[in-house]
Amino acid sequence: MRDLAKEPDVARHALETMWTARRFEEAVDQLFARGLMHGTMHLSIGQEASATGTCMALEPDDLITSTHRGHSHCVAKGADLTRMMAELLAKDTGYCRGRGGSMHIADVATGNLGANGIVGGGIPIAVGAALAQKLTGSGKVVVSFFGDGAANEGAFHEAANLAAVWQLPVVFVCENNHYGMSMAADEAFAIENISTRAAAYGFPGVTVDGNDVQEVYEMVSTAVERARAGRGPTLVENVTYRWKGHSKSDKNLYRTREEIAAWQDRDPIVRFEEAVRAAGSLSDEEIQAARKAATDALRDAIRTANAAPPAPADRDLLLDAVYAAENRTARDRMEVYA
Amino acid sequence: MTTIETSENPTDGPGPAGSAVAAPISGGEAGEARELTYAESVRETLADLLETDERVFIMGEDIGVYGGAFGVTTGLLERFGRERVRDTPISEIAIVGAGVGAAICGLRPVVELQFSDFVTCAMDQIVNQAAKIHFMLGGAAQVPMVIRAPAGSGTGAAGQHSQSPEAWFAHVPGLKVVMPATPADAAGLLRAAVADPNPVIVFEHKLLYKQKGEVPRNHFVPLGKADVRRRGQALTIVATSVMVGKSLAAADELAAEGIEVTVVDPRTITPLDDATILAEVAATGRALLVQEAPRTAGFVAEIAARITESDTFHALKAPIVRLCGLDAPMAYAPELEKASVPQVPDIVAAARQLAKGA
């Protein structure tokens, strides 16, 4: 298995991806705090290794479904930062033209079939996308991201079973960040590891240190290979932690500062920087440059996004947008949004 | 029990909005009509679509060897194989959700829910996912999925297997809702539903499955075109699904008494052909709205509202009358079940009353 820390270009890509996700969400956090952003959002700061290691195990045209906590998935799958930021800033130039916001960003051109505001809602959709790949013989694999909370939704169980009996090319990536809003995983599950649920459906499940981008990459790669070979689904549980609250209104009443601090000491990005340093593939300057590249990219994205006009408050346009007016193939849509 | 009559030539547009056109989609001579049951008509259309469009596949519970709970898909597994005629576990969330995912990726899933009542198990995938994806994603994706769902009472299956839930879905922007009342419409509207780039729910009434009627080959009925099944001066009946046939039977009885009525079948409640409905109500000045579903917040309440908020209101000579199912769960015992929904004598009596009302 490839060692992400050892190859300079790969290490740089992993670092830049994780830093970009981090900087994006830090910027969003600040824009909300300053009252410059509207609505709500859910931050995945602290979970960047899960999104990055997973997407690095995919081919560019493989597909993902994402969650309400999906910014890092978008970034890792290659979404355009300006269009992401524009969406959160309620601009017409945003991914959803101001109709979706943070919870509904999709980028069909990069294989991201969409974030989802319903816990577990994307899992059956991922299974359907995998069915389409099987029926068309495309050879593509679908990753379904979801959280620990979603593993207690019926949608997970029905979708996992269907994927198993039909041996579909899907990888279930459960990001166990320890809390479903305020509900601790310890209280929501009577099992030690969510990955053991895979056994109930007849496919492999594995629990991974989700703050170790290398380990995530290796386990998901194995699962993707298995899926692509027609051997069906795998459940990969990335154990991680969200540093920020569930959403902007969270006062963190259900956990301690000490607990948060302990997980911040296991920062997935700092850990990978140490691994890169130890491997000697990038110099300290190059590691700093990766951080700076992310910071600069964010600054540009915010500036460009902010300069765009707001989504027009035109009722006829809204009504016209409800129904698709013409048949277009997925390929046409990808070209339109490429 | 009443029978459904079909127009002599269903490809002629009987109403102002026109009715049906033949679409040059598959083999066979377009327009050539044969007598088929409603179930045969759905089956033949599914077979045509599977034959001519490689993006189409069907899935649902027991649709394979068993042929579906109502026999609609009989023989399709043998003809098209397990990949495209997919028997599923009893998992409505996964069945509909897999349809959504496959549709986003460019396929044309036609999903069967064994009974329309089971749609409750799949509500998130229909209401929060299928209906909203195109809008919420800024147009980046389409969900060209069809859900077929046998609806309605009359089979002695009681409260959890007899509902007419169409109004729930008419209330969700992004869905299209189709209620074929004849074998011809069962084919024509299904073909239009599969061709549509949006999620479409087709409620097939169980009591109609054995009804026979002329079905043109390759029949195509555009969504959003009401069908004026009969014209008269006394009053206008707007009826959906199985109530169309009952209303036509009532119309025959009324005609014998010298009361000539118009019968309009909206055929699709989303999109709704307001123009035809309003014009036909304005023409008689009296509206009798008939549905099997419970009265409160039922779909005909929406039709009543559209009549009263339009200029058609000024043409009304009497208050609008609704004839609906009871606001009660469907009962089991045959006489209780019958009493729960409008029957032909109820329609005749209501029409008689309305015709002479001031």
Residues of B in contact with A121 (CB under 8 A): 97, 124-125, 128-129
| Per-residue pLDDT band at A249 (split at 50, 70, 90) | confident
- How many residues make up chain A in this entry? 338
Same domain, yes or no: B215 and B291: no
Helix (H) and strand (E) counts in chain B: 13, 16
Contact A154 B93 (CB under 8 A): yes
**Closest CA–CA distance from residue B194 to any residue of chain A (Å):** 11
Identify whether A284 is part of a domain: yes
Output the furthest CA–CA distance in chain A (Å, rounded): 59
Instruction: Share the mean pLDDT of chain A.
Output: 95
B100 — contact with chain A (CB < 8 Å)? yes
Residues of B in contact with A124 (CB under 8 A): 93-94, 96-98, 100-101, 125
Instruction: Share the mean pLDDT of chain B.
Output: 92
- Please check whether residue B323 is in contact with residue B222, taking contact to mean a CB–CB distance below 8 angstroms: no
Identify whether B324 is part of a domain: yes
pLDDT attached to residue B14: 32
Q: Is the model's pLDDT at B351 over the cut of 70?
A: yes
**How far is the C-alpha of B311 from the C-alpha of B308, rounded, in Å?**
8
Same domain, yes or no: B156 and B76: yes
B112-156 confidence digits (pLDDT tens)? 999 999 999 999 999 999 999 999 999 999 999 999 999 999 999
Mean pLDDT calculated for residue range A159-188:
97
Identify the sign of the CA torsion A85, A88, A89, A94: positive
B179-214 confidence digits (pLDDT tens)? 999 999 999 999 999 999 999 999 999 999 999 999
Nearest Cα residue to A14 out of A39, A45, A51, A42 = A51
Report helix, strand and coil shares of chain B as percent, to nearest 5. Answer: 35, 20, 45
Same domain, yes or no: B206 and B237: no
Contact B104 A165 (CB under 8 A): no
Strand, coil or helix: B41: helix
Tokens encoding B342:
């409008």
Q: Is the model's pLDDT at A23 over the cut of 90?
A: yes
Identify whether B48 is part of a domain: yes
B101-110 confidence digits (pLDDT tens)? 999 999 999 9
pLDDT attached to residue A251: 86
Identify whether A206 is part of a domain: yes
Identify whether B81 is part of a domain: yes
Tokens encoding A14:
């992993």
pLDDT attached to residue B20: 38
pLDDT attached to residue B29: 57
Mean pLDDT calculated for residue range A133-146:
98
- As for how many domains chain B has, the answer is 2
Same domain, yes or no: B276 and B249: yes
Mean pLDDT calculated for residue range A125-145:
98
Of B86, B97, B103, the CB nearest to A159: B97
pTM assigned to the model: 0.93
B180, B202, B220 — which closes off a domain?
B220
Same domain, yes or no: B69 and B157: yes
Identify whether A161 is part of a domain: yes
- Please check whether residue B151 is in contact with residue B206, taking contact to mean a CB–CB distance below 8 angstroms: yes
Of A94, A104, A124, the CB nearest to B94: A124
B287-318 confidence digits (pLDDT tens)? 999 999 999 999 999 999 999 999 999 999 99
E-assigned strand segments in B221-303: 227-230, 235-239, 261-265, 268-270, 287-294
Query: What residues make up the domain containing B169?
Result: 21-220
- How many residues make up chain B in this entry? 358
Of A124, A132, A161, the CB nearest to B107: A132
Identify whether A337 is part of a domain: no
Q: What letter represents residue B183's amino acid?
A: P
Identify whether B11 is part of a domain: no
- As for how many domains chain A has, the answer is 1
B222-254 confidence digits (pLDDT tens)? 999 999 999 999 999 999 999 999 999 999 999
Nearest Cα residue to B86 out of B44, B53, B50 = B50
Identify whether B197 is part of a domain: yes
Contact A114 B134 (CB under 8 A): no
pLDDT attached to residue B133: 97
- Using CA coordinates, name the residue in chain A closest to B57: A135
Mean pLDDT calculated for residue range B325-342:
98
Q: Is the model's pLDDT at B281 over the cut of 80?
A: yes
- Please check whether residue B4 is in contact with residue B182, taking contact to mean a CB–CB distance below 8 angstroms: yes
Same domain, yes or no: B202 and B243: no
Percent of chain A topping pLDDT 70: 96
Catalytic residue among B161, B171, B205, B219: B161
Same domain, yes or no: B27 and B175: yes
Same domain, yes or no: B325 and B273: yes
CATH number of the structural domain spanning residue B38:
3.40.50.970
Identify whether B12 is part of a domain: no
pLDDT attached to residue A187: 95
**How far is the C-alpha of B353 from the C-alpha of B322, rounded, in Å?**
12
B220, B236, B253 — which closes off a domain?
B220
Please state whether A54 falls in left (phi above 0), alpha (psi between -120 and 50) or beta.
alpha
Same domain, yes or no: B200 and B258: no
Q: Is the model's pLDDT at A288 over the cut of 90?
A: yes
Identify whether A64 is part of a domain: yes
Q: Is the model's pLDDT at A332 over the cut of 80?
A: no
pLDDT attached to residue A327: 64
- Please check whether residue A152 is in contact with residue A160, taking contact to mean a CB–CB distance below 8 angstroms: no
**Closest CA–CA distance from residue A291 to any residue of chain B (Å):** 31
CATH number of the structural domain spanning residue A291:
3.40.50.970
Cα-based distances in Å from B352 to B254, B263, B291, B313, B345: 8, 14, 18, 21, 10
| Type and span of the H or E element at B216 | strand B212-216
Identify whether A332 is part of a domain: no
pLDDT attached to residue A248: 80
Percent of chain A topping pLDDT 90: 92
Same domain, yes or no: B204 and B183: yes
Exposure class string for A196-232: b at 16+ Cβ within 10 A, else e: ebbeebebbbbbbbbbbbbbbbbbbbbbbebbbeeeb
Identify whether B14 is part of a domain: no
Query: What residues make up the domain containing A61?
Result: 8-311
Strand, coil or helix: B299: helix
**How far is the C-alpha of A297 from the C-alpha of A301, rounded, in Å?**
6
B220, B236, B266 — which closes off a domain?
B220
Identify whether B311 is part of a domain: yes
> Which residue do the tokens 């729960």 mark?
B340
| Per-residue pLDDT band at B35 (split at 50, 70, 90) | very high
Same domain, yes or no: B181 and B300: no
Q: What letter represents residue B241's amino acid?
A: S
Identify whether A71 is part of a domain: yes
Of A114, A121, A326, the CB nearest to B137: A114
Identify the sign of the CA torsion A200, A202, A206, A210: negative
**Residue B127 DSSP code:** I
Contact B97 A94 (CB under 8 A): no
Cα-based distances in Å from B143 to B52, B98, B101, B131, B319: 20, 11, 8, 8, 41
pLDDT attached to residue B24: 38
More confident of the two residues B171 and A330: B171
Residues of B in contact with A80 (CB under 8 A): none
Identify whether A167 is part of a domain: yes
Does the annotation mark B161 as catalytic?
yes
**How far is the C-alpha of A64 from the C-alpha of A54, rounded, in Å?**
10
**How far is the C-alpha of B173 from the C-alpha of B195, rounded, in Å?**
19
**Closest CA–CA distance from residue B179 to any residue of chain A (Å):** 19
pLDDT attached to residue B253: 98
Q: Is the model's pLDDT at B2 over the cut of 70?
A: no
Same domain, yes or no: B121 and B97: yes
CATH number of the structural domain spanning residue B283:
3.40.50.920
To the nearest 10 degrees (0 to 180), the angle between helices A8-33 and A81-88 is 20
